[in-house]
Amino acid sequence: MKSNEYRLTTDLTVSQIKQKVQSVMAKADIGPVNSTVLDERADLEFLAQRKGLAGHAAIQFYVFDRGALREVHIVALGDAGLSRAWGGVKNTLSLSKSTQWAEQVRDALN
């Protein structure tokens, strides 16, 4: 599994972050993170997935409350090219689609 990670710091509250992210992820399936890529538990964390004809997109989302600021980690997930070829485009995660989606979420928080 390949990934691209985006990190940002914001003075938005966890609740405000949640509202902004929900608008970008309106049609996503939201669930718990099955395995974390980070060493500590976040104050807010979830896995968001979208299905498409040319592959699926998935991002892991983490918010850490650091007092006056919140640290946000957005991890775009995708299968390697060989996995996509072997498993079929419809049944795999597209890193490019996941990355585009992660960038939309990041931009909504800036």
Phi, psi (deg, nearest 5) at residue 102: -60, -40
Q: Is 24 exposed, middle or buried (0-12, 13-18, 19+ CB in 10 A)?
A: middle
pLDDT beneath 50: ranges in the chain: 84
> Are 51 and 43 in contact, with CB atoms under 8 Å apart?
no
Calpha distance 63→44 (Å, rounded): 5
* DSSP label of 99: H
Tell me which residue range forms the domain holding 62: 2-109
> What CATH number should be reported for the domain holding residue 71?
3.30.310.80
Domain total in the chain: 1
| Whole-number pLDDT of residue 9 | 96
pTM more than 0.85: no
| Whole-number pLDDT of residue 38 | 62
